Amino acid sequence: MNVEEFFNKVVTVRMSPDESALDIIDQTLLPGTIKRIEISSRVEIWDAIKRLRVRGAPAIGVAAAYGIALLASRIESNGLDDFYAKFTEEKDYLASSRPTAVNLFWALDRMDRVVKNHADDSPDDIKEALFAEADAIREEDVQISRAIGEIGFGLLRDLKRNGQAVGILTHCNAGTLATAKYGTATAPMYLALEHGWAGTDMHVYCDETRPLLQGARLTSFELYHAGITTTLQCDNMASILMRSGKIDVIFVGCDRVARNGDTANKIGTSGVAILAHHYGIPFYVCAPSSTIDMDTPTGEQIPIEMRNPDEVTEMWYRERMAPEGVDVFNPAFDVTDHGLITGVITEKGLCHTPYDEAFLDLGMGP
């Protein structure tokens, strides 16, 4: 299977052929089982986001966009005001699924604007426009990831010396399974393949990413299938890798970047950044502009999702590995201080500190 065939097989979100449901790959079953499922009711869509059947900030945005389009298509209303009230109820419900990834709210806001901009049209026209907007969000995500990949690939090319593989470390999964195609943190790697690099020209080290193992189950799975030299390590092994000189650069994704550059990403990311700072390794955040939240001044204001303790006390395959009743600390994300970030790679350009000015220069924000 070539990379393109693999991308098609694991498409995160699309409409089912008869447009009656969202067709998603159930990421909770990976890597053992590649299974697509159809989700159709409001509860199924909410639950798929909450339980990480579909996950990763951009993919959550795409799922929310198609989800609200689908739910809106079933609204029966007496005129526009009634339609909008029911639409808002569905939108608020989907928005309550996960708090940290701003793409969820960004996508739902974008869908909301479609309804407002069609205030003179019939509900049927609005329903059609909502599906068109969801298609646009998905297609833009492909192009945005590609643009991030081109910039990231430029950085990789600069690091390539004496025919040696470039050592890259990544945390969690900001790959094709988290987006509509190329991933964000993985986009530089996929673009490198397109630019003629062999899978052996780079060596990607994937943090397993406890507790839910997105690095092991998803990132190492997709990079391995793409033919990229990939090594999986436990999270507490990143330090020895960096110390031994195996890591030239770090690429991570993000769930929300505050105006000052503070970045929320999967729990453990800030530790990777602190280590990278210690060892003098460049640490890049790959951020579509939809993940940059200019309304959130600093990381302090980013809501961090707290998840079920079972995710810590039981292994992924549900074997108990801690005593019943033990207290558990299980935040799903942490915030990396902007001072530890070498650069934020957006589709519009590479940003450096001061990030608020750099983001504004690239046209983000009000």
Footprint on this chain of ligand MRU (rule: CB under 6 A): 52, 55-58, 101, 172, 174, 178-179, 183-184, 214, 253-255, 265-266, 332
Which tokens belong to 33? 């089982």
Shortest-Cβ-distance residue relative to ligand MRU: 253
CB environment 182-205: b (16+ within 10 A), e (fewer)? bbbbbbbbbbbbeeebebebbbbb
- Indicate which residue of 207, 255, 293, 356 is catalytic: 255
Q: How far apart are the C-alpha atoms of 104 and 312, rounded to whole Å?
A: 25
> Closer CB to ligand MRU, residue 58 or residue 343?
58
DSSP 29: G
Whether 201 is catalytic is no
> Closer CB to ligand MRU, residue 255 or residue 262?
255
Instruction: List the beta bridge partners of residue 331.
Output: 306
* 266 marked among binding-site residues: yes
184 Cβ neighbours under 8 A, 6+ residues apart: 58, 145, 148, 174, 178, 253, 254, 286, 287, 288
Least distance from ligand MRU to the Cβ atom of residue 200, Å: 25
Task: Residue 331: name the closest of 271, 251, 258 by CA.
Answer: 271
Structural element, H or E, at residue 265: strand 263-266
Least distance from ligand MRU to the Cβ atom of residue 299, Å: 14
> Closer CB to ligand MRU, residue 27 or residue 260?
27
User: Is there a contact between 341 and 143 (Cβ–Cβ < 8 Å)?
Assistant: no
* 55 marked among binding-site residues: yes
Least distance from ligand MRU to the Cβ atom of residue 142, Å: 13
* 98 marked among binding-site residues: yes
* 117 marked among binding-site residues: no
Least distance from ligand MRU to the Cβ atom of residue 332, Å: 5
Q: How far apart are the C-alpha atoms of 11 and 4, rounded to whole Å?
A: 11
> Closer CB to ligand MRU, residue 130 or residue 340?
340
Which active-site residues does the annotation give? 255
Q: Which residue ranges make up the annotated binding site?
A: 55-57, 98, 214, 265-266
Q: Which residue ranges make up the annotated binding site for substrate?
A: 55-57, 98, 214, 265-266
